[in-house]
Amino acid sequence: MLLSLQRSTVIFWKRLVCPKMIRSFHGVRSLSSLKEFTVQESLPSLPVPPLEQTLHKYEQSIQPLLGEEELQHTHKVIEEFKKGIGPKLQELLLERAKSAENWLSQWWLHYGYLSVRSPVVINSNPGMLLPLQKFEGEKEQLKFAAKIISGILDYKIMLDEKRLPLDKVGQQPLCMQQYNNVFSGCRIPGVNTDFWKKFSDSKPQHIIVISNNHLFSLQVFGKKNKPLNAEQIYKQLKTIKSESKHSTSPVGILTSENRNAWAKIHKKLMKDKKNQASLQSIQNSLFVLCLDKPMPLIQDPVAKMSMAGGMMLHGGGSEMNTGNRWFDKTLQIIIGHDGVSGLNYEHTSAEGVVLVSLIDHALDFCLQKKNIVLPAAGVQEPVKLKFNIGHDIQSAIETAKENIDSLIGDVDLTITDYTRFGKEFAKSMKLSPDALVQIALQLAYYRVYSEPCATYESGSTRRFKLGRTDTIRSCTVPSYLFTRAMDDTGVPVNEKLQFLHQAIQTHKNLINDAISGQAIDRHLLGLKLIAIEKGMNIPNLFMDTAYATSVHHKISSSQVSSKYNCSMNFGPTAPDGFGICYNCQKSHILIAVSALNTSPDTCSKKMTNSIHQSLTDIYHLLQQEPPVSKL
């Protein structure tokens, strides 16, 4: 069976292998000699790939996921689409591309985010855990928060003055538009669809600080647009803490609700002038700072890190810190009394790499002892935001508490630090660290479930104007062959190594497709949406079981690389799947795995253990690689 499958894919393998690979999108680097946006207008538009190319790649991608009869049926469906409505839809999509900066971007914002009605918490907003701090008390919490804010303001000034280094992959400049979306942006709820707004025109100079569910507006710029320094910010935070010693009704927890429910409550709140002023102050603020209560004491390091990651993802529940949030804001910085710190971000306007750039800069700023920021003049006292909450709003808050506690109770999150090796080992073997981890994920899943699964990895399309992401379909025929062979005692080591290298090379090619605008998922989505937009019937291609299987991502994964020991996490996108995020450091890999407790088939700890073992076994397999002759 294994050898038969191997022989049937020789042509497929030869077609995929490309000897000259450009660097993957994970190798983003900033060049300080180039200014932000200097090449923005010269960036190419997102291409529309050739139809036959996409359909061919699609058919290849489903091979590991379906049986022979299903594959034969899907082949007929693809041929029908290719000879039928497909070319017409391709023509319509090409026409759309001619008149748009990016033919996908508006669709992506609407269908990927703003029209989705489920809560943004867990389902959309990622959390990011910073290295755990050791605070002796409230003073150190506030001092650290003040330094982080000062570092973020320094970053914002660089952004405003167009001094932010240009991101590049190799010599290829990347779109920087997402950086502009981080500050003063907010998702605003609406019935059936939300909208996202940036309030830069009003030039806001304040942040929102949430403490014990109280919300404060804090001016962080003084006269002549000069930022407050860390000591000035610290004094303001002390004032805020003294005015919020006792918890209050958590208006912020309403942002964790189903979007239609929140939209109706938001509309009611906006009818009151006091509420309207408070909501507008939140929405147009630069960002939010959440000063959190401490977590329960936990001795086990994995359990502690996992709970800390949960604090970033969802706040730990209504009795902990979930009410101490405003989940609609693009950026929330979270600083706990116990040193548990990080961020939560609303995903509509930016990808994780942008937030990582910001937080890396803020942490750099904290560590630099020579950062001398002179005091700003004209410091204003923080202002507590007030809400008129009637019985109906308070009832909605109580309902929101119940709903979010139920949602959080379903989250099964495990965060670990794999220490056998990191990216330096992979590079020493001349392998892509990301591809190596992705193949380990395939092996880990196969070992638990004895079958492959549709897998999503985020691939950046920022080479193109307004580019966001496309899907890297990590489950391939070569990866399946490797997972089958790895634990087969009848397969020699040299063949296992061959399967591994083929799987890794194939994955690198898929990364190349994604970053070059030649992946298939956004193209297929565009063909489907253009049909809907033109009032056509949805083509059979998208009604086929194969398509549904291929986009039911039982592994939804992303590499989010920070130079610090930061760990990003997010919820699974399939009810019977996993959300997996990893940060490859030099000698270790931080891995976050999420699942749902209501799924009887998934367990984050079991999957994490399988990932660790798979990484270790691949490590030992590579140790048996014969040395390359220098002759």
Among 481, 550, 494, CA closest to 13: 481
Positions marked catalytic: 347
The residues pairing with 167 across neighbouring beta strands, listed in sequence order, are 30
Alpha-carbon span 349 to 416, nearest angstrom: 29
Angle of the 138-160 helix axis to the 352-367 helix axis, nearest 10: 120
Residue type, 438: Q
Quote the DSSP letter at residue 470: E
Look at the alpha carbons of 257, 261, 266, 269 in this order and tell me if their dihedral is positive or negative.
Answer: negative
Q: What is the 3-state secondary structure (H, E, C) of 394-425?
A: HHHHHHHHHHHHHHHHCEEEEEEEECCCCHHH
Residue showing tokens 């000062």 = 150
Task: Return the structure tokens found at 88.
Answer: 């017409």
Contact 187, 175 (CB under 8 A): no
Task: Return the structure tokens found at 172.
Answer: 């290829």
Alpha-carbon span 431 to 479, nearest angstrom: 15
Contact 498, 17 (CB under 8 A): no
Q: What is the 3-state secondary structure (H, E, C) of 317-383?
A: CCCCCHHHCCCCECEEEEEECCCCEEEEECHHHCCHHHHHHHHHHHHHHHHCCCCCCCCCCCCCCCE
Contact 244, 214 (CB under 8 A): yes
Task: Return the structure tokens found at 179.
Answer: 């950086």
Neighbours of 620 (CB within 10 A): 10
Among 384, 305, 299, 382, CA closest to 342: 305
- Going from the C-alpha of 501 to that of each of 17, 156, 265, 313, 582, the distances in angstroms are 11, 43, 55, 36, 21
